[in-house]
Amino acid sequence: MVKLKIPDIMPDITDEDAINHIFRYLKKNRQVQDFLINKLIESVLEENKPPNLEIQSGYLQPISYDTVTGSEAFYDAAWHLCSRNILRPYPVNEHDELKYPVNFSGKFVVTQYGRTWLEKFDQNNCTPSEYGRFSQLFNDRVHLFGAGYNSRSQEAIKCYRSQSYLACCVMCGSAYESILLALAIKKKGNEDEILRMYNASKGRSRVENDLIGQKNQFIQKEFTRYTDLLKYWRDDASHGAVSSIQEEEAYTSLILLLRFVLFAEKNWTELTSP
């Protein structure tokens, strides 16, 4: 018999990887009301097993699945999703479900909110739940946009993870403004002049106009496509009035910020040319 375990095929699995495996499992098995982590791990092992693993010395061998060894990331991921109200623990009452460590504290159900969340966000390949991946995508552009951008973009991810959605929107908007300043300073070649313009009345709009006011229609349209909502939610979140900003707005702010970062990187030469 061939025994397959997580370290054999995923030696460096993280809780973020495990979150993605849970999402894929739930999307594939939408009819599932509750699930055990060990069954989910078994499914992941089956999907990712090496080809012809069961053939040993020319003979077909049955496969057994070790769902305990290296399973910590899956349990961490599930309990993190509980803190997000996407999953919740499900009562166990069958004798086999009380076995430790195979199933104990390992049965979960998708909440009503969780089902809505999965339906709404399953079209994205990279979600803010992948904190390390998002963080790295932002961090990879620090050489273009500077330390101010980097600290604010990283802070936005931390705020989203801690469910501080107002603060997340503020940090996303602030990261955008750091990018705006980096582009404008590079174009103008005079940091003091740009900062004086930015700190004056309606400074952000004036810097934007100086940056893209004379650019072609495509650049102007794409620029505002990514930044209008970033600015709106940043201003709404930072004011003292009651705000309706929740997770959806914070999520969208992070996605828009990432797309703007990629747009600015791709069009760096065009945006910073006189």
Are 230 and 172 a contacting pair, CB within 8 Å? yes
Secondary structure class of 242 (helix, strand, coil)? coil
Evaluate whether residue 126 is within a structural domain. no
- Total count of domains within the chain: 2
- Of all residues in the chain, the percent with pLDDT exceeding 70 is 89
What's the CATH number where 8 sits?
1.10.10
Assess whether 234 and 110 both reside in one domain.
no
The mean pLDDT value for 173-201 works out to: 95
Secondary structure class of 145 (helix, strand, coil)? helix
* Out of 71-75, 132-136, 168-172, 248-252, least confident range: 132-136
Assess whether 239 and 107 both reside in one domain.
no
Higher pLDDT, 225 or 119: 225
36, 130, 13, 40: CA torsion to nearest 10: 20
Assess whether 224 and 142 both reside in one domain.
yes
In angstroms, the Cα distances linking 143 to 133, 146, 265 are 18, 6, 11
Residue 213 zone, left/alpha/beta (φ > 0; ψ -120 to 50; rest): alpha
Assess whether 136 and 116 both reside in one domain.
no
Assess whether 142 and 232 both reside in one domain.
yes
How many Å apart are CA 193 and CA 185, to the nearest integer?
8
- Domain stop point among 121, 152, 167: 121
- Of all residues in the chain, the percent with pLDDT exceeding 90 is 44
Tens digits of residue pLDDT in 188-246: 999 999 999 999 999 999 999 999 999 999 999 999 999 999 998 888 887 777 788 88
Assess whether 216 and 88 both reside in one domain.
no
Question: Residue 125 pLDDT more than 50?
Answer: no
Q: How many CB atoms lie within 10 A of CB 83?
A: 11
Higher pLDDT, 106 or 94: 106
**pLDDT band for position 56 (cuts 50, 70, 90):** low
Question: Residue 129 pLDDT more than 60?
Answer: no
Q: How many CB atoms lie within 10 A of CB 11?
A: 8
Reading the block at residue 68, the tokens are 């305990």
- Domain stop point among 90, 121, 152: 121
Its domain, for residue 88, covers 2-121
How many Å apart are CA 178 and CA 143, to the nearest integer?
13
Q: What DSSP line would sit under 31-68, residue for residue?
A: T-SEEEHHHHHHHHHHHHPPTTTTEETTEE--EEEE-S
The residue with tokens 């707005």 is: 249
Assess whether 150 and 268 both reside in one domain.
yes
Assess whether 114 and 136 both reside in one domain.
no
Which of 55, 56, 41, 37 has its CA nearest to residue 8? 41
